[in-house]
Amino acid sequence: MKIPYSLRVLRRPAPEDTVTDSFGKFISEVKPQHLSSVVLHRSKRMVLDSIGVGVIGSTTDVFELALQHCQHMYAPDDISSVYGRRGTRLSPTLAAFVNGVATHSMDFDDTWHPATHPSGAVLPAVLALSDMMSANSKPSGLDFLLAFNIGIEIQGRLMRFSNEAHNIPKRFHPPSVVGTMGSAAACARLLSLDPSQCSHALAIATSLSGAPMANAATQSKPLHIGNASRLGLEAALLASRGLEASSLVLDAVTGVAGFNAFYEDYVPQPLELSNDDGHMFLLEEQDMAFKRFPAHLGMHWVADAAASVHKILVGFGPGTVCPAQVQDILLRVPKSKYINRPFPDSEHEARHSFQFNACSALLDGEVTVQSFTPAALRRPDLLALLSRVRMEHPQDNPANFNSMYGEVQVTLVGGDILKGHCDTFYGHWRNPLTNESLRKKFRNNAGAVLPSEKVERLIDVVEELDRLGDCRALLSQLQ
């Protein structure tokens, strides 16, 4: 009998046919041997850098606010360690939250391409969950790194399904979207969830994702990373208890938005895991950017371009830059509204201001942690330079961290014109920090809070992590 069209039942896709289930299977079944030596090396650099920026981030006002909120609003649950606070412990989810806030509190954390901050959303959750596990079930160092890399991989794969995601964001802050998914994936793996539970963890995390770019350059922006870490962990824990969610959340289903609610041009593909050892993690082909100073990544191009002009300027006078020398400052940068801040009023706005970072480097020859102190922001010489800045947005300078450039043109009172240009700053994935430079950054950051012997021990433990029988050696150094 011919069935009327209105009563026809569409075939439900078999699990292996869906993008969502392919991701769940990957998270559950990928093996440590899929981690190449390159991926292990790069991911250990990410772990070390993320701990360092988290530890120095524990000195910030926004971290202190977040920590006090957690201590005063929730019942004590002394399980997981807090960056930079000896003897302070919180529940695993709250520790993931405050440590994520610390990691992004100064905008000092790593940046990937497509644009996101991958480590800060994943590492605090993996550390907190490892603290939660009993002494005889702690993950090995290699399993810890595998979970961490799964969290990074899931973020990269999801962002590569969208051309929009390749550019400096306008709508959602990427770590609040893909970071939550990465945290959920990493924690699902550490909890040894089966493929179906891993898929549900991702679907639950999708319902807990998303924060608007309007809160960039405010104290609320670090909450995006904290929430991504915390809520991804919660999603995995809920999935471990049997909570279910959409089995098609990563698939492009017409008329029903899933993950594609965050990216309008989202075109997903299954994440295949071959039967042999042939899987290549994205981190192998796309290295990470590590920042030399605590500001939005785009600031590093204009800072380096301005620093090159500074070197010329100091040769004209008494070894310092005098604003009276300068008639006009022209910045040629990508068009991006939230990092166009002519006169920033706070450290957070300054970290997201092309103008501020260019003028700081022009005045001092570099941008440092101290460049964002209240006294530095109010310097008369800096304010004088800021008043002379204008910007252009050339067509050949897209808002994309893989292809943008920064150019600073200074016109002197006498009419001379000096130019500085930067295509690839030191620390970019095309010109990565050496191990020596990365460790120097870590020593400076962690050493602001921790004794030197603990700083050196952390460097050694992270370097040895893939060879440790369990990760307690790392956890103990963070207590």
| Complete edge-to-edge strand list for the sheet that includes strand 326-332 | 389-392, 326-332, 406-412, 417-422
Q: What is the mean pLDDT of residues 203-220?
A: 93
Helix axes 92-104, 221-240, angle to 10 degrees: 150
The rounded distance, in Å, linking the Cα atoms of 129 and 112 is: 24
Q: Please give the single-letter amino acid code of residue 382.
A: L
Pairing state between β 326-332 and 389-392: parallel
8 A C-beta contact, residue 364 and residue 358? no
Per-residue pLDDT reduced to its tens digit, 50-70:
999 999 999 999 999 999 998
Q: Is residue 189 part of a domain?
A: yes
Q: What is the mean pLDDT of residues 186-212?
A: 96
Q: Which residues contact 82 (CB under 8 A, 6 or more apart)?
A: 58, 67, 88, 89, 90, 95, 98, 99
8 A C-beta contact, residue 379 and residue 323? no
Same-domain check for residues 280 and 304: no
Same-domain check for residues 173 and 91: yes
Q: What is the mean pLDDT of residues 404-409?
A: 97
8 A C-beta contact, residue 264 and residue 164? yes
Same-domain check for residues 324 and 257: no
CATH code of the domain containing 353: 3.30.1330.120
8 A C-beta contact, residue 71 and residue 461? no
Same-domain check for residues 73 and 122: yes
- The pLDDT of residue 14 is 52
DSSP per residue over 228-255, as a string? Answer: HHHHHHHHHHHHHTT----TTTTS-BTT
Same-domain check for residues 346 and 383: yes
Is 193 a residue whose pLDDT tops 90? yes
Burial 276-312 (b: 16+ CB within 10 A, else e): eeebebbbeeebbbbbbbbbbbbbbbbbbbbbbbbee
- The pLDDT of residue 453 is 95
Same-domain check for residues 176 and 279: yes
The rounded distance, in Å, linking the Cα atoms of 314 and 242 is: 65
Same-domain check for residues 193 and 312: no
CA max distance for the chain:
96
Q: Which residues contact 180 (CB under 8 A, 6 or more apart)?
A: 121, 205, 206, 208, 209, 227, 228, 231, 232, 235
Is 321 a residue whose pLDDT tops 80? yes
* pTM given for the model: 0.92
pLDDT band at 353 (very low <50, low <70, confident <90, very high): very high
Q: Is residue 335 part of a domain?
A: yes
* Percent of residues, the chain, with pLDDT higher than 70: 95
Q: Is residue 128 part of a domain?
A: yes
Is 142 a residue whose pLDDT tops 90? yes
Q: Is residue 392 part of a domain?
A: yes
Q: Which residues contact 189 (CB under 8 A, 6 or more apart)?
A: 27, 28, 30, 146, 147, 150, 198
Q: What is the mean pLDDT of residues 12-18?
A: 61
Residue 218 buriedness (CB in 10 A; 0-12 / 13-18 / 19+)? middle
CATH code of the domain containing 207: 1.10.4100.10
The rounded distance, in Å, linking the Cα atoms of 54 and 50 is: 6
8 A C-beta contact, residue 114 and residue 159? yes
376 is in which domain, residue-wise? 297-422
Same-domain check for residues 149 and 41: yes
Which residue blocks in 267-373 are alpha helix, DSSP H? 282-285, 299-314, 347-350, 354-364
Using alpha carbons, list the distances in angstroms from residue 283 to 36, 37, 157, 383, 404.
10, 11, 11, 41, 21
Pairing state between β 80-81 and 89-90: antiparallel
Per-residue pLDDT reduced to its tens digit, 66-110:
999 988 877 677 889 999 998 889 999 999 999 999 999 999 999
Both structure tokens of 92: 């695993």
pLDDT band at 356 (very low <50, low <70, confident <90, very high): very high
Is 394 a residue whose pLDDT tops 60? yes
Q: Which of 231-240, 242-251, 313-322, 407-416 has the lowest mean pLDDT?
A: 313-322
Q: Is residue 411 part of a domain?
A: yes
Q: Is residue 451 part of a domain?
A: no
Q: Which residues contact 2 (CB under 8 A, 6 or more apart)?
A: none
Q: What is the mean pLDDT of residues 307-336?
A: 89
Question: Per DSSP, what are the bridge partners of residue 417?
Answer: 411
Residue 169, number of CB atoms within 10 A of its CB:
21
Per-residue pLDDT reduced to its tens digit, 217-272:
999 999 999 999 999 999 999 999 999 999 999 998 888 888 989 988 989 999 98
Is 2 a residue whose pLDDT tops 70? no
Using alpha carbons, list the distances in angstroms from residue 14 to 17, 22, 43, 250, 346.
5, 11, 35, 15, 53
Same-domain check for residues 133 and 268: yes
Q: Which of 321-325, 412-416, 462-466 reaches the highest mean pLDDT?
A: 462-466
- The pLDDT of residue 276 is 66
Is 134 a residue whose pLDDT tops 50? yes
Domain count, the chain: 2
Domain boundary among 422, 447, 466: 422
Q: Is residue 151 part of a domain?
A: yes
Same-domain check for residues 160 and 235: yes
- The pLDDT of residue 389 is 97
- The pLDDT of residue 319 is 74
pLDDT band at 359 (very low <50, low <70, confident <90, very high): very high
Residue with the larger pLDDT of the pair 216 and 12:
216
Same-domain check for residues 249 and 356: no
Q: Is residue 134 part of a domain?
A: yes
Same-domain check for residues 212 and 249: yes
Is 315 a residue whose pLDDT tops 90? no
- The pLDDT of residue 388 is 97
